Amino acid sequence: MAKEGEEITDLLKVAPEEILIRWINFHLQAAGQEPSVKNLGKDLKDSKALFYVLNQLDKEKCPLDHLEEADELKRAEQMILNSEALGVAKMVDAADFVKGNARVNTIFVAEIFNTRHGLEELKEDEKEAFEAAGIIDDDIEGSREERSFRLWINSLALEDVFI
């Protein structure tokens, strides 16, 4: 999911929402679709992009049968049912999803990503880079607020700054 010339440590500075957008576009490209998601709100409300993502994650449990459903609400309902087949907790209903609310859709997409991301495991050199930067166990200490603050500072992409 890294862009041309980016290293793993560069990805750590990318905002979580941007990571999810890259993840969706990665799976769209793998499905032979034009990567077209630029935001997690209006670009997802028709459910088509997530139909392809879910199909990439499990072609058997998440077929593309209802992709051409004319009713946007029915299509969203089926997309949510497909996600549940993968073990994704029901976080949103179809009526809320089709409104294109970026916050609601971000939570739903993050839940899909956390349940089944469909990415390759890190290569040995990538694991070493993470370990060298002290990233793997970085987030186990401190209060929730401290971790949030640390993640926020790191997401600012300040040169030579990583907390």
Q: Which CATH superfamily hosts domain 8-115?
A: Calponin-like domain (1.10.418.10)
For the chain, what's the residue count?
163
Q: Which residue has the higher pLDDT, 127 or 145?
A: 145
Cβ atoms of residues 40 and 109 within 8 Å: yes
Q: How far apart are the first and last CA of the chain?
A: 23
User: Where do you find CATH 1.10.418.10 in the chain?
Assistant: 8-115
Supply the DSSP string of 47-95, one letter for each residue: SHHHHHHHHHH-TTTS-STTTT-S-HHHHHHHHHHHHHHTT------HH
User: Letter for the amino acid at 152?
Assistant: W
Q: What is the pLDDT of residue 146?
A: 80
- Each residue's pLDDT tens digit, 20-51: 999 999 999 999 998 889 999 999 999 999 99
Task: Give residue 14's pLDDT.
Answer: 83
For residue range 129-153, what is the model confidence (pLDDT) as tens digits? 666 655 544 455 667 778 777 878 8
d(CA 98, CA 76): 7
Instruction: Convert the pLDDT of each residue in 52-106 to its tens digit.
Output: 999 999 999 999 999 999 999 999 999 999 999 999 998 899 999 999 999 999 9
Find out whether 101 and 94 touch, Cβ atoms under 8 Å: no
Examine the pLDDT at 155 and tell me if it is beyond 70: yes
